[in-house]
Amino acid sequence: MRPEILFPAFAPLTTLPGIGSRTAKLLEKLAGGRVADLYWHLPSGLIDRRFAPKIADAPAGRIATITLRIDRHQPAQHPRQPYRVYGSDESGTLTLVFFHAREDWLRKSLPEGAVRVVSGLVEVFNGEPQMTHPDHIASAEEAAALQTIESVYPLTAGLHRKPLAKAIATALTRAPELPEWLDPAFRARNRWPAWKAALAAAHHPETDADVLPDARARARLAYDELLANQLALALVRRHQHQHSGRPLQGDGRCRAKAVAALPYRLTAGQETALREIAADLAAGGRMLRLLQGDVGSGKTVVAFLAMLIAVEAGAQAALMAPTEVLARQHYRNLEPLAAAAGVRLALLTGRDKGPGRSETLARLAGGEADIAIGTHALLESPVAFRDLALVVIDEQHRFGVHQRLMLSAKAASDKGGANVLVTTATPIPRTLALTTYGDMDVSRLTEKPPGRQPVDTRALPLERLPEVIEAVRRALAGGTRVYWVCPLVEESEAVDLAAAEDRFADLKQIFGDAVGLVHGRLKGPEKDRAIADFAGGAVRILVATTVIEVGVDVPEATVMVIEHAERFGLAQLHQLRGRIGRGGRPGTCLLLFSPPLGETAKARLKILRETDDGFRIAEEDLRLRGTGDLLGTRQSGFPVFRLADLAHHGALLEAASDDVRLILGRDPELKSERGRALRILLYLFERDGAVRYLRSG
């Protein structure tokens, strides 16, 4: 149950005076539907009205608050002309300009002969100062109550500044006095205000510095949000480990045969990750581990060997991939290893229908298949396992947490549920890993398997396209294959498709049937056929959208051309580049850009030329782009913070993570005075789900 002290904060917006259903709908679209949502809608800037010069001293382009005498009105002679009101002080004249204003209202607000205070942006027109639609018009008496500093908030269509500011001001009067959940010494060291004072200060900035992420009030609120996130994840993780699983300990026979069949030796990183996974599985608690690896670091092999532990222990395992292309590729690549290990694989995707599908379902339910590889199809209700003990989720950021839980729920509950290993080839900055995967233990693969070749990365303006085509011609003569990736334009699939089809047509005129095309709108079999033709050599140039970003594996491809590289994120460019240099020959990646480049795009391409370290690239991507669009998609599974900005608050996140470890070490059930305050914090930031993992108290 939400604590009673928070009831006012979670009341609907319509409980605030003066907010009807229409305004409430607009506010909900902008910030959310409850009073607390307005707490978190912080100003993006401020208007300083303290500058009060004489008319002659008011510079153009600056907000000024000016006292003047109203001299005369000049109504508009034509509907397109403005209404003008002339005023003056001892230093000069100022024209007030109004479009589509009612004359009766203007004459009442600005009566001739009266003294008025006006505030707004000063402009110069025909050499004379003017102010168009002043923000404020007041009598000398009313001017004393005029806000000298106004907060500027992000808006949405249909909602104006004044009603929003009024709603937020009213919401802040309802903010409750909450007990302090911060460690007193830590708060004193940072010189942070109490929670309610921080909220008030964040909404009433005095200077431009007060709207920056490291301003004291904002930093305090960001820390509160990060602390709630870390505490919730730690409680989920502890619950996961306490949940009785069953010890899974294989005898190593299948793994030994599979490793012997590999064309290379495992790296030290792969062996370490396997030891960590084996220790988790043997411990008897339920495993929840993230396997992070750069492009080509050999995660799939580690995941497969982990699944063999379950098979050796007499149970089953499942691997869920985000796309059909990737699921089928995993199946093809793992088939020889499974055969060597004497293990039976099954493939299940949305495309599998009829008797073949029924047979696969029967094999899984009866235990005749040891390992299932598939897509979301594995989540469907008819899919049942005889004894599912380990679930591997490949490319975790493509799935939500609920999908992870749905698949692990297919394990027999009387045997403690399934262990979960999630993998990602998108190296995740430490800050994002903490906020997203803080409920997991983490293994990292930083080395590349032997035989991976370096990729020479170059950036070229698009006007050098003829030279690029000649370079592709030379590469084909040398026996290689080429990816040609077309741009992502404002995440519009239709435009991506058009760009890819146009380039395909151009290249086909030059290279004939050696050119193939693959994009997201092709049906599954067509997509598979296009990639199979490229892998088999029937097609030697594959024009593609970003559908090839993850997992497509053609060792003979050594050249990658990326058009409009400036439109891609760093992590995405790194993923694409990882498709080449996978055989025994070095690769070349040509980044074609359309000048002039902005500073961020320039920095992005520079970093890509300097390094192929995915973890460094991920940190730089976070710094350059912020968290909002790090993976090129909002649906990336990463939490969206209202107050914290991980590009600025990384140190606060580390501190929150350390703080949580100390808190739960001393007060695991949050029963102390600070513990009870922390329970309120969890509810305040809607991390209620974690509270159920605490005993009452």
Q: What is the pLDDT of residue 405?
A: 57
Per DSSP, 590 falls in state E
Q: What is the pLDDT of residue 691?
A: 75
63-74 and 371-374 as β-strands: parallel, antiparallel, unpaired?
A: unpaired
Least confident of 101-105, 220-224, 429-433: 429-433
- pLDDT of 78 > 60? The answer is yes
Q: What distance in Å separates the CA atoms of residue 654 and residue 652, rounded to the nearest whole number?
A: 5
pTM over the 0.95 mark: no
Q: What distance in Å separates the CA atoms of residue 629 and residue 620, rounded to the nearest whole number?
A: 13
Q: What is the pLDDT of residue 443?
A: 84
Q: What is the pLDDT of residue 631?
A: 37
- pLDDT of 273 > 80? The answer is yes
Domain with CATH 3.40.50.300 in the chain: 253-445, 455-611
Question: Could you tell me the pLDDT band of residue 697, with boundaries at 50, 70 and 90?
Answer: very low
Q: What distance in Å separates the CA atoms of residue 679 and residue 697, rounded to the nearest whole number?
A: 10
- Give the position of tokens 């209620």: 688
Q: What CATH topology corresponds to 455-611?
A: Rossmann fold (3.40.50)
Question: Of 429, 418, 313, which Cα lies nearest the Cα of 370?
Answer: 313
Percent above pLDDT 90 for the chain: 54
- pLDDT of 53 > 70? The answer is yes
Please, which residues bridge with residue 347 across strands? 373
- Look over the chain and give the mean of its residue pLDDT values, rounded to a whole number: 86
Q: What is the pLDDT of residue 255?
A: 97
DSSP string, 312-361: HTT-EEEEE-SSHHHHHHHHHHHHHHHHHHT--EEEE-TT--HHHHHHHH
Q: What is the pLDDT of residue 378?
A: 83
Determine the average pLDDT of the residues in 408-437.
70
Q: Enumerate residues 6+ apart whose C-beta is below 8 A from 223.
A: 182, 192, 644, 649, 652, 655, 656
- pLDDT of 634 > 50? The answer is no
Question: Could you tell me the pLDDT band of residue 453, with boundaries at 50, 70 and 90?
Answer: confident
Q: Enumerate residues 6+ apart whose C-beta is below 8 A from 406.
A: 379
DSSP string, 253-311: HHHHHHHHHSSSPPPHHHHHHHHHHHHHHHHSBPPEEEEEE-TTS-HHHHHHHHHHHHH
**Lookup: tokens for 209:** 């510095």
Instruction: Give the three-state DSSP class for 196.
Output: helix
Measured in degrees and rounded to the nearest 5, phi and psi for residue 204 equal: -130, 65
Q: What is the pLDDT of residue 556?
A: 87
Domain with CATH 2.40.50.140 in the chain: 50-146
What is the CATH architecture of 253-445?
3-Layer(aba) Sandwich (3.40)
Question: Could you tell me the pLDDT band of residue 408, with boundaries at 50, 70 and 90?
Answer: low
> Higher-confidence residue: 547 or 664?
664
- pLDDT of 492 > 60? The answer is no
> How far apart, in Å, do the first and last CA atoms of the chain sit?
12
Q: What is the pLDDT of residue 162?
A: 86
Q: What is the pLDDT of residue 430?
A: 66
**Lookup: tokens for 607:** 């970093």
Q: What CATH topology corresponds to 50-146?
A: OB fold (Dihydrolipoamide Acetyltransferase, E2P) (2.40.50)
Q: Tens digit of pLDDT for each residue in 521-568?
A: 777 778 878 888 998 899 999 998 876 655 567 888 899 999 988 888
- pLDDT of 661 > 70? The answer is yes
- pLDDT of 155 > 50? The answer is yes
- H helix or E strand, kind and range, residue 171: helix 161-173
